Amino acid sequence: MLLCNANWPKKPYCSNKIGFIRIRIFNKALDYLYIQPNPIGLIFRLVFDVDRQGASIDWADRNLPAPNWSACNPKNGHAHLGYELEVPVSGIKSIKFAKDIENSYIAALDADPGYSGILCQNPFHKNWRIMEWRKEPYSLNELSEYVRIKNSKPKEIGIGRNVTLFNTVRKWSYREIKQYWKRDFHEWQSRVISEALEVNQKFEIPLPFMEVKSTARSIARWSWKRITEEDFSKIQSARRAIKPKVKQEITKLREQGMSIREIALSLSISPISVNRYV
């Protein structure tokens, strides 16, 4: 059933190592351990990451419907469960309904809520223990009958996604780049693109791939040039030199009877920073 299914992305993301994503035509992507289950903006299947032994069959003990397939890691028994949909889901209302069902199944299966769904264990790959449990795809209504639907809060659409994507990945890059100072820029850029794709997948309506890639490449270039090991050391040294002066000033203002909020406003720092020295 799986290999006959024409609803997999034609040029999916794929990888042999989480964090380093490639794009290949479908037949080439089949050779990779991980593969993209859905095209951007469409949902053909719901995939759940269940991180415990016996994950392939655990749905039965929880009175949930059988997945169409499971891809199990033979080393630890953890698995990805795939529920195929009879009609691809698109449009804001339909995607929201699918996401609400997905959230409900995450809770019912005790699946990993942090799993982004950008890649799944490739159900075509011999490295995983593959089981096909059901041939017929599901309708969203049928899946909804087995769980109490958890209504999710409205998520960002339109330009808000671009801003959130940029700010989220930008702030993440400030910490992460330290792991790549001794490595190649192309490795760093690939890692940033991978992170951006994961952030994008969490949007109710994901951004097009080229928009995400362009934003990620811009962040990668900027951070590579501006956040060097030498510059980071200078910043840390400057912060160490400033700390005693800040503490002295906070102590002085505190003795004058000023509140933490008033001190924060006076020194243009956050109340959390003031609390560190009180």
Q: Which two tokens stand for residue 43?
A: 């949902």
Q: How far apart are CA 137 and CA 134, in angstroms?
A: 8
- 151 domain-assigned: no
- What rounded mean pLDDT belongs to the chain? 85
Q: Do 130 and 246 belong together in one domain?
A: no
pLDDT at 160: 64
pLDDT band, residue 259 (cuts 50/70/90): confident
Please calculate the CA angle 217-117-69 and round it to the nearest 5 degrees.
145
Q: Do 202 and 107 belong together in one domain?
A: no
Reported as a single tens digit per residue, the pLDDT across 4-58 is: 556 899 999 899 987 678 889 999 999 999 999 988 778 899 999 999 999 999 9
Q: Do 20 and 127 belong together in one domain?
A: yes
Q: How far apart are CA 221 and CA 169, in angstroms?
A: 13
Closest to 144 measured CA to CA, from 90, 94, 210, 81: 94
Reported as a single tens digit per residue, the pLDDT across 45-98 is: 999 999 999 999 999 999 999 999 999 999 999 999 999 999 998 877 788 888
pLDDT at 235: 58
pLDDT at 272: 75
Please calculate the CA angle 77-34-222 and round it to the nearest 5 degrees.
125
Closest to 62 measured CA to CA, from 97, 107, 117, 121: 107
Q: Which two tokens stand for residue 188?
A: 């760093």
Structural domain that includes position 264? 237-277
Q: Do 51 and 18 belong together in one domain?
A: yes
Give 91-99's long-range contacts (Cβ < 8 A, gap of 24+). Answer: 92/157, 92/204, 92/205, 94/140, 95/43, 95/204, 95/205, 96/152, 96/154, 96/204, 97/140, 97/144, 98/43, 98/46, 98/140, 99/152, 99/204
- 210 domain-assigned: yes
Q: Is the pLDDT of residue 205 over 60?
A: yes
Q: Do 61 and 90 belong together in one domain?
A: yes
Identify the domain boundary among 80, 114, 144.
144
Is the separation of the CB atoms in 11 and 26 below 8 Å? yes
CA-derived radius of gyration, the chain: 23
Identify the domain boundary among 187, 205, 227.
227
Identify the domain boundary among 144, 167, 185.
144
Is the separation of the CB atoms in 95 and 117 below 8 Å? no
Q: Do 104 and 200 belong together in one domain?
A: no
pLDDT band, residue 204 (cuts 50/70/90): confident
- What is the number of structural domains in the chain? 3
Is the separation of the CB atoms in 249 and 259 below 8 Å? no
pLDDT at 240: 63
Is the separation of the CB atoms in 204 and 161 below 8 Å? no
- 0.75 surpassed by pTM: no
- 34 domain-assigned: yes
Q: Do 125 and 176 belong together in one domain?
A: no
pLDDT band, residue 266 (cuts 50/70/90): confident
pLDDT above 90: percentage of residues in the chain: 47
Q: Do 59 and 26 belong together in one domain?
A: yes
Q: Is the pLDDT of residue 125 over 90?
A: yes
* Residue spans of alpha helices (H) in 145-258: 159-176, 185-201, 209-226, 229-255
Stretch 179-190: mean pLDDT: 90
Q: Which two tokens stand for residue 19?
A: 């964090």
- Range in 52-56, 175-179, 181-185, 257-261 the model is least confident about: 257-261
Q: Do 208 and 175 belong together in one domain?
A: yes
Reported as a single tens digit per residue, the pLDDT across 213-240 is: 989 999 999 999 888 877 666 656 655 6
